[in-house]
Chains A and B, each alone.
Chain A
Amino acid sequence: MTWLSIIIAGILTYFTRMTMIALVDRDMLGEKIKAVLAYVPSAVFPAIIFPAIFINDYGAYIEMSDPKIFGAIVAIIVGYFSKNVIATIFSGLISYWFIIFLLV
């Protein structure tokens, strides 16, 4: 039963990946839609980022003094100026660890 659910969930997921690429002709999308699609990364990823930072494991909002907020700010600054993915992730993690291991 669980296997069946997984297979259905897998087919569903595959369709979300395949539909627009294989079944929809790009010409069907007008210029306006194309202009809006340029915003897809900016529209999708914050919906993952915000809850991951501001909500804790128990579904409640974190305090403004939470080390995750400090880590995220450092990552944004380092990422903005370095344009480097590794530097962004590491700077965020290290500043987060710095607070949870050394200061608390």
Chain B
Amino acid sequence: MLSKKKLFTKGMLDVAPHMLSVIPFGIICGAIGVELGFDPYLVYGMSIIIFGGASQIVFLQLLSGGASSLVAVTSVGVINSRHLLYGAVLSEYLEKLSFIKKLLISYLIVDQGFAESNKFFKKNKSEQYLHYHLIGTGATLWICWQISTLSGIVLGSFVPDELGLKFAIPLTFIAIIVQDLKRIDHVIVMLVSGISALVFLNAPFKLYIIISPIIALLIAGLISRFKR
């Protein structure tokens, strides 16, 4: 049985490699907000209030492009609706927690933290303080996100554009799912999701971010029916 501290530290270490993409992305996100002419406090406030990288950038871009607040807010909701799926997956491991603890830990759920903690949970189901791993990944990402967006706001985009560091974002997500390429059922689900995303890319409100996973999960449902 691992101690709370050990699990927390394991969570921090497991998610640490993803800082390679989270930190440049945070800097870009902060810098874009200021470049678009928004109040720096407002740009930073989003990192605490929304705490969701892609949705923050989209929100500011839509508003500066003349979209209504309703459109901007809806888009944020749509982009972040994928957390519903993360929550459904994680709920199995968090069900013993008190209601208050569930409310608090929910704030920390982000893509990379979900992915790394979910991997750990699957292998260590019997651990008593499993949620400390999730707090470890979430807190690490939260702190790095705050520092990196803040430095982007204050210093501007000091990461040279030529480096193309935006490319680190798909690479991070490739690193998360690459081991599942071993399994043909997962490969099919991945291709369905990715191709749907390209097909629905221009749907309003960035709907492709949630339509594609739903289509892919429907296919996954068909596959798991055939497997039995």
Say yes or no for A5: interface residue by CB 8 A criterion: yes
Q: A13-B55, A53-B170, A88-B175 are in contact. Are A2 and B38 (CB under 8 A)?
A: yes
Contact of A43 among B69, B105, B193 (CB under 8 A): B193
Q: Which residues of A contact B216 (CB under 8 A)?
A: 39, 42-43, 46-47
CB pair A24–B91 under 8 Å, yes or no, is yes
**Interface residues on chain A, size class:** 35 or more
Please report the C-alpha to C-alpha distance between residue A24 and residue B102 in the assembled complex, in whole angstroms: 11
- In the complex, what residue of chain B is closest to A29 when comparing beta carbons? B88
Please report the C-alpha to C-alpha distance between residue A83 and residue B17 in the assembled complex, in whole angstroms: 12
CB pair B55–A9 under 8 Å, yes or no, is yes
Please report the C-alpha to C-alpha distance between residue A104 and residue B42 in the assembled complex, in whole angstroms: 40
CB pair A47–B193 under 8 Å, yes or no, is yes
Say yes or no for B154: interface residue by CB 8 A criterion: no
Give the Cβ gap from B131 to chain A, nearest Cβ, in Å. 10
Say yes or no for A98: interface residue by CB 8 A criterion: no
Give the Cβ gap from B36 to chain A, nearest Cβ, in Å. 12
Say yes or no for B213: interface residue by CB 8 A criterion: yes
CB pair B90–A21 under 8 Å, yes or no, is yes
Main secondary structure of the interface of B (DSSP, over half): helix
Contact of A76 among B38, B59, B115, B174 (CB under 8 A): B174
CB pair B73–A42 under 8 Å, yes or no, is no
Q: Which residues of A contact B126 (CB under 8 A)?
A: none
- In the complex, what residue of chain B is closest to A21 when comparing beta carbons? B87
Q: Which residues of B contact A76 (CB under 8 A)?
A: 174, 178, 181
CB pair B164–A41 under 8 Å, yes or no, is no
Say yes or no for B61: interface residue by CB 8 A criterion: no
Please report the C-alpha to C-alpha distance between residue A1 and residue B107 in the assembled complex, in whole angstroms: 24
- In the complex, what residue of chain A is closest to B108 when comparing beta carbons? A17
Please report the C-alpha to C-alpha distance between residue A9 and residue B47 in the assembled complex, in whole angstroms: 12
Q: Which residues of A contact B57 (CB under 8 A)?
A: none
- Chain A 12-45 against B: per-residue CB contact (8 Å), 1 yes, 0 no? 1110111111101110010011111111111111
Q: A13-B55, A19-B84, A47-B212 are in contact. Are A2 and B171 (CB under 8 A)?
A: no
Please report the C-alpha to C-alpha distance between residue A13 and residue B163 in the assembled complex, in whole angstroms: 31
CB pair A41–B181 under 8 Å, yes or no, is no
Please report the C-alpha to C-alpha distance between residue A74 and residue B95 in the assembled complex, in whole angstroms: 40
- Chain B 77-106 against A: per-residue CB contact (8 Å), 1 yes, 0 no? 100111111111111101100010011011
CB pair B106–A18 under 8 Å, yes or no, is yes
| Chain B 35-88 residues near chain A, CB threshold 8 A | 38-39, 42, 45-46, 49-52, 54-55, 59, 63, 69, 72-73, 76-77, 80-88
Q: A9-B59, A12-B80, A86-B20 are in contact. Are A47 and B209 (CB under 8 A)?
A: yes
Contact of B171 among A10, A19, A59, A71 (CB under 8 A): A71
A-B contact pairs, 19 of them (CB 8 A): A5-B73, A9-B73, A10-B50, A12-B80, A20-B86, A33-B88, A41-B115, A42-B177, A43-B213, A44-B86, A46-B193, A47-B197, A48-B197, A52-B167, A52-B173, A89-B20, A89-B168, A89-B175, A93-B167
Binding site for B on A (CB under 8 A): 1-10, 12-14, 16-22, 24-26, 29, 32-55, 59, 68, 71-72, 75-76, 79-80, 83-86, 88-90, 92-93, 96-97, 100
